[in-house]
Amino acid sequence: MAEEHFLTTEEVLDYLQVNLRTIYRLIKAGKIPAVRVGRQWRFRKKDIDTWLTGTRAGGAKSAGAAVLERPRVLVVDDEQAVRDLVAKTLTMADYDVETAPDGPSAIDRLRNADYDLLITDLKMPGMDGLSVIREARLKSAELPIIIITGYSTEASAIEAINLGVCGYLTKPFRLPRVLAIAARALGETAPTIEA
C-alpha cells in the first residue's frame, strides 16, 4: 500500500495559488477535508487533487476561480474617510466591497445587486441609515447589517435592533474591530490582513 502524502497549510497555499482566507473557507464549506495537528492543518494531497479535478470538470479556469465567491459588502457612509477606511480594510481581507456616499445611492445599489453584508452609517444627511436598513429589509430579511455610529440616541438604537441589526461599530474604531464584526456577521472566523 502506497504511503499517503500530506501537505501543510503553506504547501496547499502554494499548490492552489490562493490565500489563507480562501483555504479556511474551503475547509468550512467541506470542499477539502483537513486535519488539525497542533496549530497547523494537514491536507491529503489526494483530496486536494480530487477537488481540483472536480472543479476543473465543472468548467472552472483555476482553483481560485472555483473557490467560494468572496462575500460582497456594501459600505454606506457620508464621510469619505470613514467609507474609504472600512472599504480598504475589508478589501485587504479579501472581501468584494462596494461603497455608497449616501442613502439614495445605497438604495439604488441594493435594488440592483445582491450583497452578503450591509454596513451603514446611522446619521447621514437626507436619508439616514435607518431608512437604508428598512429598504434593505424589503429586499432581504436575512441580510446581515452592521451600523456605524458616532453617537446614537436610545430610540435609534432600539429601532436598529428591531430591524435586525447584528452589530455596530462606534466611531472611532480600530481596523481589527471592523474585521471581527464583519466576520461575525457573516458567520466566519475573523480574517487577518495579508501583507
Cell of 183: 466576520
Q: Which helix (H) or strand (E) holds 132?
A: helix 129-139
pLDDT along the chain (195 residues), means of 10: 74 76 74 78 83 59 51 94 91 90 96 93 90 91 89 70 83 84 78 49
Q: Exposed (0-12), middle (13-18) or buried (19+): which is 126, by Cβ within 10 Å?
A: exposed
Fold of 72-186: Rossmann fold (3.40.50)
SS3 65: helix
Confidence at residue 162, expressed as pLDDT on a 0 to 100 scale: 80
The number of residues making up the chain comes to 195
Q: So where are the chain's domains?
A: 6-66, 72-186
